[in-house]
Amino acid sequence: MPRLPISANRGSRRFRYFGESRGHMHFFEIYGSRTAQFKIFELEKDYSGWFVKYHVELDSIVRAFPEMVRDYMDPGYTNYYAFVMLHLVREGYNEESVLLVHLPGKILTYNVGDKTFRKLYEIPADQSKGMLFLSRCLNCKMTGSEVWHVLIFGCILTS
């Protein structure tokens, strides 16, 4: 497999993702404390190299959910925006992919093609920790693949 496309001018990395969905390998890194933009790379089918598949801009999410902006910044803390990318989900052949995004108290889907988002699940404040969240999640209005990915990453959300 070719080397990962890691930026030489990256500064401090705050997040790295490497994963597979529907037979496609994806990689991205988020650099800098105040960025909500990054590129998603996909591995060529013949494994010869990486190419930029998507340009992601989460500015619309920041505007819609201002609580993800940390205004209590400790100068030594590097994460200005409170969000974590859980998984990149390939919806199907020739369909757009979506990112599962965890914000404080919420899980969103973000369509990387048309740059739209929707709230997938709101984590109740009294249940944001513990396994009860996962059992309640199964009763919310999610598609099968969304529930599956929330279950996979439930340990991240409940720790």
Task: Please give the pLDDT value at position 64.
Answer: 93
Share of the chain above pLDDT 90, in %: 11
**What is the tens place of the pLDDT at every residue in 75-111?**
555 557 778 888 888 877 667 788 888 888 888 989 9
The answer to whether residue 119 scores a pLDDT higher than 50 is yes
Q: What is the pLDDT of residue 77?
A: 54
CA distances from residue 135 to 87, 89, 90, 108, 151 in whole angstroms, order as listed: 20, 22, 25, 18, 9
Q: What is the pTM (predicted TM-score) of this model?
A: 0.69
Q: Is the dihedral of CA 29, 82, 86, 78 positive or negative?
A: positive
- Confirm if 42 and 17 have CB atoms less than 8 A apart: no
CA torsion, ordered 130, 132, 135, 136, to nearest 10 deg: -120
Comparing 30 with 32, the larger pLDDT belongs to 30
Q: What is the mean pLDDT of residues 61-65?
A: 89
In the predicted model, is pLDDT for residue 153 greater than 50?
no
- How many whole angstroms from its chain centre is CA 66? 17
Task: State the pLDDT at residue 79.
Answer: 55
Mean pLDDT of 54-58: 89
Distance of CA 129 to the CA centre of its chain: 19
Residue with tokens 């990915």, as numbered in its chain: 149
* Structure tokens that stand for 41 in this block: 């790379």
Average pLDDT, the chain: 72
pLDDT over 90 at 46, yes or no: yes
- Mean pLDDT, residues 32-58: 86
